[in-house]
């Protein structure tokens, strides 16, 4: 995978975008956290499905473009999967041994990585090929790494004012926000979310995968106040960026 030229720091975070809403997060020398691993999405880099090692997998909700390849990656790597309780039960029933079910407001710590599940405004049914199963509710994650770096992955969501509280409580350095519109918030609403959160790094996701997802990072940047525009990071699938 290509590596973006950025500043390196033991207190930073290496981020690899794997297309759509899938990211690999890794502090220097730390545990590797894979989020929403739909790894055969149209924008996934070559070899994404063979990713290894993986220590922790986070699943924001049950839709196939987020639950994705969780079962096969978890079985292959032995990663611990964290998801809302109903999805954890589904994963356990499909042979995932290390599936941890939590719920909104709850926090679990795995290998020194503190994971808090927060609200998201979206649906969460699991399509098993023949019917849609209950998937609990959609969620986002606040991830605090042992080096102090805090990341917020919003999952699929619309804008909601409790994001102000996330900013005040958790002070995320990096915010991963859906911007594609139609199924999630678009760039204009995501720009307001950025003002609520005040992150150092803004990363758009859930855009460009299909023609219907029309939002872009450039449009997001246009809707932001001047002081936040330079914080938008535009990643290429498969590239590795280091956030400080």
Q: What's the pLDDT score for residue 3?
A: 44
Residue 182 lies in a domain: yes
- Selection from 36, 68, 73, 70 nearest residue 53 by Cα: 73
Residue 4 lies in a domain: no
Residue 120 lies in a domain: yes
pLDDT tens digits along 173-206: 999 999 999 999 999 999 999 999 999 999 999 9
Query: Residue 183 burial (CB < 10 Å; 0-12/13-18/19+)?
Result: middle
Q: How many CB atoms lie within 10 A of CB 72?
A: 15
DSSP 205: E
Residue 241 lies in a domain: no
In whole numbers, what is the pLDDT of the chain averaged over residues?
95
**68 lies in which domain range?**
13-235
Helix orientation angle between 163-170 and 187-197, rounded to the nearest 10 degrees: 30
* Average pLDDT estimate for 89-115: 98
Q: Given pLDDT bands bounded at 50, 70 and 90, which one contains residue 82?
A: very high
DSSP 145: -
Residue 132 lies in a domain: yes
Q: Is the pTM of this model over 0.85?
A: yes
pLDDT tens digits along 211-221: 999 999 999 99
Pairing of strands 33-35, 56-58: parallel
Q: How many CB atoms lie within 10 A of CB 109?
A: 11
Q: 131: which residues sit within 8 A by CB, 6+ positions away?
A: none
Whether residue 16 is predicted with pLDDT greater than 60 in this model: the reply is yes
Percent of the chain whose pLDDT exceeds 70: 96
Which residue's structure tokens are 């503190």? 114
- The CATH number linked to 106 is 3.60.15.10
The number of domains in the chain is: 1
Residue 7 lies in a domain: no
Whether residue 30 is predicted with pLDDT greater than 60 in this model: the reply is yes
Whether residue 10 is predicted with pLDDT greater than 90 in this model: the reply is no
Residue 51 lies in a domain: yes
């Amino acid at each position: 995978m290509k590596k973006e030229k950025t500043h390196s720091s033991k207190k930073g975070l290496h981020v690899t975008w794997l297309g759509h809403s899938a990211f690999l997060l890794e502090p220097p020398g730390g545990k590797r956290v894979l989020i929403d691993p739909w790894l055969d999405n149209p924008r996934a880099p070559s070899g994404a499905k063979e990713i290894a090692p993986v220590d922790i997998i986070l699943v924001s909700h049950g839709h196939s473009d987020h639950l994705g390849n969780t079962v096969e990656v978890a079985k292959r790597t032995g990663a611990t999967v964290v998801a809302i309780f109903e999805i954890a039960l589904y994963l356990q029933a499909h042979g995932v041994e290390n599936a941890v079910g939590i719920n909104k407001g709850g926090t679990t710590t795995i290998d020194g990585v503190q994971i808090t599940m927060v609200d998201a405004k979206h649906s969460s049914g699991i399509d098993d090929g023949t019917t849609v199963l209950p998937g609990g509710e959609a969620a986002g994650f606040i991830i605090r790494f042992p080096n102090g770096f805090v990341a917020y992955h919003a999952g699929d969501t619309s804008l909601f004012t409790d994001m102000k509280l996330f900013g005040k409580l958790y002070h995320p350095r990096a915010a991963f926000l859906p911007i594609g519109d139609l199924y999630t918030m678009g760039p204009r609403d995501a720009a307001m979310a950025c003002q609520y959160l005040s992150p150092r790094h803004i990363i758009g996701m859930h855009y460009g995968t299909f023609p219907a997802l029309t939002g872009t990072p450039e449009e997001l940047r246009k809707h932001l106040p001047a002081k936040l525009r330079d914080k938008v990071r535009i990643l290429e699938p498969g590239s590795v960026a280091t956030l400080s």
